[in-house]
């Protein structure tokens, strides 16, 4: 039995969970999410908890899905109640981010600005302080996978380089720095 899969998921007040036709629907104050699951898994709602079990199946695929589906349900419940946020720092002289309607415009040292259009279910929040040299972008939403993927796509536009650390990086990311050129050593 999966250690993660056997832990019941608490349903907080204000959240509605329904299991029907191979899909789990979670509706809360921030929105609604759905997730399909394998028919070999059994999902029940008892006493304000979601219980995921796999019955007698010892199939490798079903065993792998057991803990995964339980964690996805937990993430859906967290998303519709509190939401998810991934923060990115834009580091470098002339590197900046600006709001463009519901999307954003990034200046990352290329000959042209990069436009990131509005993405359904994702909101962008900016934290800009010129004196403290902070250019921070927060990617927010209720779907953890989508928030993480959008943040990764934005980071990929100009990944941080190892010499000066310029580029787009996660707030907690540590960039392993390299020494530059050694230079000339006397005549």
User: Using N-to-C axis directions, what is the helix angle for 144-157 and 60-81, rounded to 10°?
Assistant: 90
Supply the pTM of this predicted model: 0.87
Contact, 83 vs 140, CB < 8 A?
A: yes
Residues sharing a CB contact under 8 Å with residue 92, sequence separation 6 or more, in sequence order: 108, 109, 164, 166, 167
**Contact, 5 vs 57, CB < 8 A?**
no
Q: What is the pLDDT of residues 33-69, one digit of tens each?
A: 999 998 888 999 999 999 999 877 788 888 889 899 9
Beta strands at 23-28 and 103-107: parallel, antiparallel or unpaired = unpaired
In 3-state terms, what secondary structure has residue 50? strand
pLDDT, tens only, 11-31: 999 999 999 988 999 999 999
């Amino acid at each position: 039995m999966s250690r993660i899969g056997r832990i019941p998921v608490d349903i907080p007040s204000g959240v509605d969970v329904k299991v029907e036709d191979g899909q789990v629907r979670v509706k809360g104050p921030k929105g609604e999410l759905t997730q399909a699951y394998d028919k070999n898994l059994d999902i029940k709602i008892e006493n304000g908890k979601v219980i995921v079990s796999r019955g007698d199946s010892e199939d490798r695929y079903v065993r792998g899905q057991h803990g995964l589906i339980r964690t996805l349900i937990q993430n859906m419940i967290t998303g519709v109640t509190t939401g998810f946020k991934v923060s990115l720092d834009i580091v470098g002289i002339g590197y900046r981010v600006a709001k463009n309607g519901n999307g954003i415009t990034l200046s990352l040292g290329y000959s042209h600005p990069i436009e990131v259009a509005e993405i359904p279910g994702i909101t962008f929040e900016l934290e800009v302080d010129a004196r403290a040299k902070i250019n921070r972008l927060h990617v927010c939403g209720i779907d953890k996978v989508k928030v993480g993927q959008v943040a990764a796509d934005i980071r990929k536009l100009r990944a941080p380089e190892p010499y000066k650390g310029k580029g787009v990086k996660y707030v907690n990311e540590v960039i392993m720095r390299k020494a530059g050129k050694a230079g000339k050593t006397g005549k």
